[in-house]
Each structure stands twice: as C-alpha cells, then as structure tokens.
Amino acid sequence: MNDTDTQALGRSLADAQQQLEDDGYMVVAGLCDPSFVAQLLEVSLHRSGTVMAALGAKTIGIGSAAGFDEVIQRSPGRWDIPISPDEFGVDDRALPWWPLIAAVLGEDAEHSFSGVVYSEPGSPAQYWHIDSPHVSADHLPPHALNVMVALHDTPLVMGPTELARGSHRLTNHLQNLALVSDELVYQHEATVPEQLVTNTELAVPEGFSSALAAGSCLIFDDRILHRGLGNVSTSRRSMVYFSYRQAGYRENTHFEAQRSIYEAGR
C-alpha cells in the first residue's frame, strides 16, 4: 500500500485491518472523489430507472430467491439492482479501497457482486441479518468484504446501515448451535443482537450507525449482523456497493433468482 492509499483510508493499512478484525466494520469519510461519485450515481439512476420500468406491475416477493435476475426487493421499499464494474466503467483493482481488500482477502480476491441499493421514503427498517455464513467453528479471518459508497449526503433520517459492533464473531452458527444459519442469512424477525450472546459475561453487541457524506464508504465483514434503518425522510436513499470474496469462496445467498423480468409471462 503506498502513501496515497494510506492517506485515502485515513489510517495505516495495519490500523484499518485491526479495526475490521475488532469491530467488523470501518467508515472512511471522503474516500471517493466527487467526479467518481457522480459517475456511479449517473449509472445507478439510469439502470434503476430502466429496470423498475421493466418490472412494472410484475409480482415480486421479499428476498433473493423471490426476485428477478435484474432486481431484488430486500425488504419493503428497499430495492437491490446489480450492476457490474464494467457497466459502472471502473476497474475493480484501481478503486481506492482495493489495497485493503487485497490485504485482507488476498491479492487474488475476486469480485462477487456490485450494484445499487436504494430505499424509498417511508420504507421500514430491515430485520437484522448477515450476508453469508461462517464456514468453520473456529473464528477465521473474513472470507468476504462489502464496500458501500454514499452517492449523496445521507443523514440518519434517511436510514443508513446499522451494524452490531463485533458481532462478526458471534454469528458463528457452527460454534453456537442455538443459532440457525438460515435465520441469520435470510431476514427473520426473531434475529436480534441479544440472541447472539449465550455467555452472561459477554456484553450484547452495541449498534452503530453513522450519517455519511457523499463519497464516504462503509466497509464491513460479510458475517456481521446489520440492517438498513427505516427511511423517515422525504428523499430516496441510494448506496452503491462492491462486494469481494476470497479466491475459491463460493457461498452465494445474495442473488438466487431463477427468472428475468424480460421473460414472457413474468
């Protein structure tokens, strides 16, 4: 990692890795310059407009398996539309967060998913969930990381993501047999930070959410308990995301649809 990369992250590479290990997430203010954010926003608005027009009145449920290849409704009023790096007009390995991704997941880390997720005004908070399960009863380093980019200033009333600090360790269903993997990965109303703590000497993971300025990034371990908060503003909240995985890791619960909005009869 060179000096420019270190300055962009606002801390040393070692400090950034340590925060991801300890807390499971980090916020980096101003990581993306305005022209890059404008580029991401333009592509996102065009794609989302095209996809939602094609969706029209077609029936769509909640969750990855109930959606379409082109769009998933993550929770009521919260839409996830995949967009590839090529479609965004970017090279994954030239992005400002890549040195951290490579340091944590390896230089051979792979792009998993990217796109835009947005919540409509009045959309409720999501249930707590993780994005992929642990693969060992022993705690291992991350197998996947997510980067979320604020496309506009995002105050708390717009419902930015809330994370349960340090819960990336406690969501291990292979270690805590009281946990059910599907109830962690797929949103379930009974899944809350309190249920992760079986040892009375441990504190319940503290929730963290922060207002984000345009161009700021939230980077987090795929296994951390998190949720999008309710959008109680009068504006749409949009975030672009880029997700990465260790080479060879193939767990996929993010996009599971088996149909396209462009197929006849859908």
Q: What is the DSSP string of 47-108?
A: HHHHHHHHHTT----BSGGGS-SS-EEEETTEEEEE--HHHHT--GGGSTTHHHHHHHH-TT
Q: What is the mean pLDDT of residues 138-153?
A: 96
| Cα distance between residue 131 and residue 100, in whole Å | 20
Helix (H) or strand (E) holding 21: helix 13-23
Per-residue buried b or exposed e for 141-155, using 16+ beta carbons within 10 Å of the residue's own CB: ebbbbbbbbbbbebe
143: in domain: yes
**pLDDT value at 266 more than 70:** no
Q: Looking at the predicted structure, is the pLDDT value of residue 21 above 90?
A: yes
- Within-domain flag for 44: yes
pLDDT surpassing 70 at residue 49: yes
Rg (CA), the chain: 18
Residue 155 lies in a domain: yes
Give the CATH number of the domain where residue 187 resides: 2.60.120.620
Q: How far apart, in whole angstroms, are the C-alpha atoms of residue 161 and residue 222? A: 13
For residues 222 and 219, what is the distance between their CA atoms, to the nearest angstrom?
9
Q: Which two tokens stand for residue 122?
A: 């009045």
User: To the nearest whole percent, how much of the chain has pLDDT over 70?
Assistant: 94
Residue 102 lies in a domain: yes
Query: Is the residue at 257 inside a domain?
Result: no
| Residue 97 pLDDT greater than 90, yes or no | yes
What is each CA distance from 90 to 14, 114, 147, 214, in whole angstroms? 26, 11, 15, 18
Query: Strand ranges (DSSP E) for the chain?
Result: 25-28, 72-75, 78-82, 110-119, 144-150, 161-164, 207-209, 217-221, 226-228, 237-245
What is the band of 4 on the pLDDT scale with cuts at 50, 70, 90? very low
CA–CA gap between residue 11 and residue 172 (Å, rounded):
29
Note whether residue 258 is domain-resident: no
When comparing pLDDT for 214 and 251, which is higher? 214
pLDDT tier, 35 (very low <50, low <70, confident <90, very high otherwise): very high
Q: Which residues pair with 79 in a beta bridge?
A: 73, 118
Instruction: Give the residue-averaged pLDDT of 31-42.
Output: 97
Give yes or no for a contact between 66 and 93, defined as CB atoms under 8 angstroms apart.
no
Q: Give the chain's domain count.
A: 1
| Amino acid found at 244 | Y
Q: Is residue 137 part of a domain?
A: yes
Please give the Cα distance from 192 to 175 (Å, whole number).
17
Contacts of 12 (CB under 8 A, 6+ apart): 6
> 237: which residues sit within 8 A by CB, 6+ positions away?
118, 119, 154, 158, 159, 160, 231
Q: What is the pLDDT of residue 201?
A: 73
Residue closest to 45 by CA, chosen among 109, 106, 116, 102:
116
CA angle at 112 for the pair 31 and 220, rounded to the nearest 5°: 45
User: Would the pLDDT of 5 be above 60?
Assistant: no
Q: Give mean pLDDT, residues 137-150.
A: 96
Q: What is the pLDDT of residues 158-200, one digit of tens each?
A: 999 999 999 999 999 999 999 999 999 999 999 999 999 977 6
> Does 92 score more than 80 pLDDT?
yes
Query: Is residue 263, in this structure, part of any structural domain at all?
Result: no
Domain assignment of residue 238, given as a range = 3-245
